[in-house]
């Protein structure tokens, strides 16, 4: 069983797009609407293709990534393709991620943690019915 998500045949279709020649209409005609858009100095359009397949029985049928392609397109204010980057599954293994961790400022004893916990409890049980039931059961 293969689970497919995104633009099929992204690797082949992206070859039809030419930097400084293709425009937004060409891109939409070739690839459809992007998976994600971003706006900085220029528009950034991101297209993905991901295929997963169930692994063998000995691995208990876990989903295995067969294909994981990402295409990043940068489009200028005139709608012309200015930059094109294509990454496949092997390229993504080479990307270095920061190893620094952020500190957890909301420990179990902090005021914010206590406040948010009480708000969650009130949302889950607005009338306090659960607490009454527990008290009645413990008194029996």
Mean model confidence pLDDT for the chain: 78
User: What would the pLDDT profile of 98-125 be if each residue is shown by its tens digit?
Assistant: 667 766 655 556 666 677 777 777 777 6
Within a domain: 83: yes
Q: Tell me the residue range of the domain where 83 lies.
A: 2-93
Closest CA to 51 of 70, 66, 71: 66
Count of domains for the chain? 1
In a domain, 139, yes or no: no
Q: Which two tokens stand for residue 58?
A: 């000995």
List, for residues 73-93, the tens digit of each pLDDT value.
999 989 999 999 998 887 766
Task: Tell me whether residue 8 is in a domain.
Answer: yes
The per-residue pLDDT for 6 is 85
Query: Does residue 132 form part of some domain?
Result: no
Q: Is residue 116 part of a domain?
A: no
More confident residue, 15 or 61: 15
Check: CB of residue 73 under 8 Å from CB of residue 27.
yes
CATH code of the domain in which 31 resides: 3.30.1450
114 in any annotated domain: no
């Amino acid at each position: 069983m293969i689970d497919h998500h995104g633009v099929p045949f992204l690797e082949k279709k992206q070859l039809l797009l030419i930097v400084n020649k293709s425009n937004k209409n060409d891109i939409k005609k070739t690839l459809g609407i992007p998976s994600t858009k971003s706006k900085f100095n220029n528009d950034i359009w991101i297209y993905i293709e991901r295929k997963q397949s169930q692994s063998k029985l000995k691995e208990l049928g876990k989903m295995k990534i067969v294909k994981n392609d990402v295409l990043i397109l940068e489009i200028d204010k005139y709608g012309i393709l200015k930059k094109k980057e294509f990454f496949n599954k092997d390229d993504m293994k080479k990307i270095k991620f920061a190893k620094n961790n952020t500190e957890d400022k909301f420990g179990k004893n902090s005021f914010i943690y206590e406040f948010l916990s009480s708000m969650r409890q009130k949302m889950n049980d607005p009338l306090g019915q659960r607490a009454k039931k527990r008290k009645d059961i413990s008194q029996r």
